[in-house]
């Protein structure tokens, strides 16, 4: 009977440890999901410099609006070159 009580106690300790582990895994899975989705939506949109082909961010790039469309350039040199060829 003492052996049964010890086994029951051991089982309870193992079960408690197991459920703590499962809870931790579920918490980790729940925690990573919104972060993954947020990273995908925060991707920076890049535009191509029509002169040299470099990809630039519109916020940092030099822009030139011609014939209703806006073009983005990596440098003043590219912008001058673009307007000069037209
Ligand atoms: Zn350029």
| Predicted confidence (pLDDT) per residue in 13-65, tens digit | 999 998 998 888 888 888 765 555 545 455 778 999 999 999 999 999 999 99
Question: Which pTM does this prediction carry?
Answer: 0.48
Check if the beta carbon of residue 61 is closer than 8 Å to that of residue 44: no
pLDDT for 14:
92
pLDDT for 25:
87
What separation in Å is there between the alpha carbon of 43 and the centre of ligand 1?
22
**Whether residue 86 has pLDDT greater than 70:** no
Residues 6 or more apart whose CB falls under 8 angstroms from that of 46 comprise 55, 56, 57
What separation in Å is there between the alpha carbon of 61 and the centre of ligand 1?
9
pLDDT for 33:
59
What separation in Å is there between the alpha carbon of 74 and the centre of ligand 1?
4
What separation in Å is there between the alpha carbon of 40 and the centre of ligand 1?
27
């Amino acid at each position: 009977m003492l052996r049964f009580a010890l086994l029951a106690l051991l089982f309870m300790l193992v079960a408690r440890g197991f459920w703590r582990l499962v809870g931790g895994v579920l918490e980790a899975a729940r925690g990573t999901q919104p972060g993954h989705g947020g990273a995908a939506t925060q991707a920076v949109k890049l535009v191509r410099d029509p002169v040299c082909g470099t990809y630039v961010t519109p916020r940092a790039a030099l822009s030139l609006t011609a014939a209703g469309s806006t073009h983005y350039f990596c440098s003043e040199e590219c912008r001058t070159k673009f307007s000069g060829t037209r």
